[in-house]
């Protein structure tokens, strides 16, 4: 009976030591919230957390999440981790209800070093409003060949049907380029790579996206905002391995190299590799201890 008891105590002691409880406690050290939006890898609100390509990007002010890039600040409406997409809103963007002119809108331009991580989705349409005839948009496109086109079934013809256009008075421009540039020109981000209103000499812009594969009738039913796809460029394995071993993904003070934060230490791989040495040591110590307990127990019982 006593032997059984001693054995049980020894075994539970062993199991306790073998569990990497220190690591699991740290798993959520980089995860946070802003309002009701979850901030998780590759994003973060703290320097040193998340992916280095996403550093100095998100700011939380009074529960409002802001996304800051070279063209300006945007409100983040949603982060879709499963589809790896962000939905942004620019207060100076035109919608179906208002047309904002005067070049006040941000457009969408990311810093060159950050460009590989962000791309507006292919089904996001940018509608450039009031662009000058000298705009780079219309250069190299002689005659009727405008770069303007419909994107995912969304374009300016439908957008002109919005109440905002009747307020400012949309002049019907003929389809022949030569009677002046169109008042609105719809493009996909891929076609021009940067929506810079001053470079494109445009007065304003709107952006819309379609989430459902269904075609919505009329521009009144579109979702207005900028839908951006993000990616970590195949560096995902590092973080997956780190999180699988109970760590939190981050990066070093150089702002380049990824780190796995394991609570009591930082690892350049994951929380198992560097702790394995000390882990094995505690385990063998436990085995030795348990062994001596059993030996003592049998010795006591035997005598
Ligand atoms: C967050 O809250 C806002 C209202 O404050 C709501 O419109 C939005 O749908 C919520 N988002 C999520 C992901 O729950
Ligand atoms: C937009 O273009 C202007 C003029 O070419 C340039 O000075 C400015 O830096 C650009 N803005 C961004 C955010 O790249
Ligand atoms: C865009 O779609 C509308 C119908 O929604 C159509 O009338 C128009 O011709 C299309 N424009 C282009 C450039 O394909
Ligand atoms: C691990 O790295 C992070 C981010 O660089 C740093 O803030 C933290 O102090 C480091 N922790 C240890 C234990 O070195």
Same-domain pairing of 209 and 99: yes
Ligand nearest to the CA of 215: 3
Location of structure tokens 């981050």: 250
DSSP per-residue string spanning 227-262: EEEE--TT-HHHHHHHHHTT-EEEE-TTSSSEEEE-
Asked if 99 and 61 sit in the same domain, the reply is: no
Q: Which ligand 2 atom is the nearest neighbour of the CA of 196?
A: 1
The last residue of one of the domains, among 164, 198, 226, is 226
CB-CB contact of 92 with 64 (8 Å): no
Q: Is residue 254 one of the residues assigned to a domain?
A: yes
Position 53 scores a pLDDT of 92
For ligand 2, mutation pick of 103, 196, 197 (most atoms within 8 Å of CB): 196
Q: How far apart are CA 191 and CA 118, in angstroms?
A: 15
State the distance from the centre of ligand 2 to the C-alpha of 23, rounded, in angstroms: 46
268 plus 287 within the same structural domain: yes
Residue 143 falls within a domain, yes or no? yes
Residues 97 and 193 in one domain: yes
Atom of ligand 4 at shortest range from CA of 253: 5
Is the residue at 154 inside a domain?
yes
Q: Is the CB of 253 under 6 A from ligand 4?
A: yes
| Among 157, 174, 222, residue to substitute to test ligand 3 (most atoms within 8 Å of Cβ) | 157
Report whether residue 79 contacts ligand 4, using a CB cutoff of 6 Å: no
Same-domain status, 239 and 222: no
List C-alpha distances in Å: 302 to 100, 130, 293, 298. 92, 98, 14, 6
What torsion, rounded to 10 degrees, do the Cα atoms 146, 152, 157, 158 define?
Answer: -160
Q: Check: CB of residue 238 under 8 Å from CB of residue 231.
A: no
Please check whether residues 38 and 145 belong to one and the same domain: no
Specify if 115 maps to a domain.
no
Asked if residue 202 belongs to a domain, the reply is yes
Q: Which domain holds residue 180?
A: 93-108+121-226
In short, whether 250's Cβ falls inside 6 Å of ligand 4 is: yes
Residues 143 and 202 in one domain: yes
Say whether both 97 and 221 belong to one domain: yes
Instruction: Give the distance, in angstroms, between the CA of residue 182 and the centroid of all CA atoms in the same chain.
Output: 34
Residue of minimum CA distance from atom 10 in ligand 1: 36
274 C-beta closer than 6 A to ligand 4: no
Residue 182: what pLDDT?
A: 82
Do residue 138 and residue 201 come from a single domain?
Answer: yes
Q: What's the pLDDT at 211?
A: 76
* Residue 19 token pair: 């569990």
The answer to whether residue 116 is domain-embedded is no
Question: Separation of 77 CA from ligand 1 center, angstroms?
Answer: 8
Quick one: pLDDT at residue 236? 82
Co-location of 185 and 252 in the same domain: no
Residue 88 counted as domain residue: no
Query: Which regions in the chain score pLDDT beneath 50?
Result: 7-27, 173-177, 275-285
Decide which of 226, 258, 283 is a domain's last residue: 226
**pLDDT tens figures, 6-56:** 544 444 444 444 444 444 444 458 989 999 999 999 999 999 999 999 999
Hey, what long-range contacts does 112-117 have (CB within 8 A, 24 or more apart)?
113/53, 114/53, 114/57, 114/69, 116/53, 116/231, 116/233, 117/42, 117/51, 117/53, 117/54, 117/230, 117/231, 117/232, 117/233
Model pTM score: 0.79
- Tell me how far the alpha carbon of residue 107 lies from the centroid of ligand 1, in angstroms: 24
Please check whether residues 127 and 252 belong to one and the same domain: no
Considering the domain architecture, whether residues 132 and 202 belong to the same structural domain is answered as yes
What residues have CB less than 8 Å from 137, skipping those under 6 apart? 128, 131, 147, 181, 185, 187, 192, 200, 202
- Domains contained in the chain, number: 2
| Ligand 3 pocket, Cβ-based, cut-off 6 angstroms | 149-150, 155, 157-158
Last residue of a domain, one of 226, 260, 292: 226
Q: Which atom of ligand 2 is nearest to the CA of 109?
A: 13
| Ligand that comes closest to the CA of residue 144 | 3
Residue 138 inside a domain? The answer is yes
């Amino acid at each position: 009976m006593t032997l059984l008891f001693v054995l049980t105590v020894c075994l539970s002691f062993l199991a306790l030591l073998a569990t990497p409880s220190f690591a699991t406690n740290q798993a959520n050290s980089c995860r946070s919230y802003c309002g009701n939006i979850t901030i998780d890898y590759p994003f973060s609100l703290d320097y040193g957390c998340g992916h280095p390509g996403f550093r100095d990007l998100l700011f939380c002010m009074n529960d409002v999440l802001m996304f800051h890039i070279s063209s300006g600040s945007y409100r983040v409406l949603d982060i879709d981790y499963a589809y790896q997409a962000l939905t942004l809103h620019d207060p100076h963007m035109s919608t179906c209800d208002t047309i904002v002119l005067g070049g006040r809108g941000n457009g969408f331009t990311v810093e060159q070093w950050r460009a590989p991580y962000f791309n507006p989705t292919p089904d996001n349409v940018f509608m450039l409003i009031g662009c000058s005839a000298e705009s780079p948009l219309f250069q190299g496109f002689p005659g009727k060949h405008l770069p303007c086109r419909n994107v995912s079934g969304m374009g300016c013809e439908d957008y002109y049907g919005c109440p905002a256009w009747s307020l400012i008075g949309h002049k019907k421009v003929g389809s022949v380029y030569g009677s002046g540039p169109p008042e609105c020109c719809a493009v996909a981000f891929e076609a021009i790579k940067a929506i810079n209103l001053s470079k494109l000499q445009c007065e304003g812009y709107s952006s819309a996206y379609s989430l459902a594969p269904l075609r919505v009738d009329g521009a009144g039913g579109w979702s207005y905002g900028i839908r951006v796809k993000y990616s970590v460029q195949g560096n995902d394995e590092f973080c997956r391995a780190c999180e699988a071993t109970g760590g939190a993904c981050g990066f070093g003070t150089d702002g380049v190299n990824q780190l796995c934060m394991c609570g009591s230490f930082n690892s350049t791989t994951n929380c198992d590799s560097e702790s394995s040495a000390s882990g094995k040591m505690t385990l063998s110590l436990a085995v030795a201890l348990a062994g001596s307990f059993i030996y003592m127990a049998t010795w006591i019982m035997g005598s």
